[in-house]
Chain A
């Protein structure tokens, strides 16, 4: 009886996985919008949930942060925004991930001074633990364009 049970379990597990609810494009867009909103509000508990443990966050200055480093910068106020307006232009869905691209227009506060930082973003969301988690964000500055 037991081997039969194990065999049934072995065969049915992939089917159960296939039947599990997956994130769709609407929920991927919502997760990214929530991520930008949490960054604007410096909401660390929300970011904890929205960011994957293996996050790579690469900014317009070509430096990359881990999740811990990113959260610490929000907590300490090093990373602070006056405004943050994302425009999600393309969402491509894959089996367990989504790739989102677009532009973000922001006013950041650095050492008390405001600075416009506008960028192309590239985001990868991974579907884990029944929710979207951002595992990579990489940006290229739009400001660089007129210089070349």
Chain B
């Protein structure tokens, strides 16, 4: 009987640890998806305060045209209007969490102001997030322009 109780106790603890771990992952994925959407919104609003929390200090942001930004230069370009995102619609296609690193893959339609006119960019993107200071922070972004749909 004593053996059974000991075994059951070990099993129960293992199950609880495992269940807690799965629940934690669900919570972290939900937080990650939310952070991703908040980041797109913060870029459109040029919200430096929000971006400061959402972007990692080591951020490498490579735009689809090959321009490279650090965290400081990216936020500065949004605040001073050098980059002007009018709207963005993101579609997350895949999320993978590898411990303290997460990979998001998706597509986005980004409307930018360009010489007084608006221009739509259709992008395929990958961004990498890291779990730091109990929150997700984006540390890298790569995107590529999607070819225009074939015309008949």
Query: Which residues does A use to contact B, with CB under 8 Å?
Result: 2-4, 6-7, 10, 54, 56, 58-64, 90, 92, 94-97, 99, 101, 120-122, 124, 126, 135-136, 138-145, 147-148
Contacts and interface: CB of A to CB of B under 8 A. Distances in A.
Contact of A59 (B63, B99, B144): B144
Contacts of A141: 66, 144
B72 interface: no
Interface stretch (B7-15, B28-36, B38-46): B7-15
B65 A94 contact: no
B101 A140 contact: no
B99 A10 contact: no
Interface stretch (B74-82, B84-92, B121-129): B121-129
B66 A145 contact: yes
Contacts of A143: 66
A124 B129 CA distance: 11
Contacts of B3: 2-3
Contacts of A135: 96, 98, 103
Given A3-B7, A136-B126, A148-B65, A56 B105 contact: yes
Contact of A120 (B62, B105, B125, B145): B62
Contact of A92 (B14, B58, B63): B58
Interface of B: 2-3, 6-7, 10, 13-14, 58, 60, 62-68, 94, 96, 98-101, 103, 105, 107, 123-126, 128, 130, 139-140, 142-147
A58 B6 contact: no
Contact of A144 (B98, B142, B145): B145
B126 A94 contact: no
Contacts of B68: 120
Contacts of B143: 62, 140
Nearest to B3: A3
B128 A124 contact: yes
B99 A3 contact: no
23 contacts: A2-B3, A7-B10, A10-B14, A56-B94, A58-B124, A58-B144, A62-B146, A95-B100, A96-B98, A99-B140, A101-B140, A120-B142, A122-B128, A126-B98, A135-B96, A135-B103, A136-B103, A138-B144, A139-B144, A140-B143, A144-B65, A145-B67, A148-B67
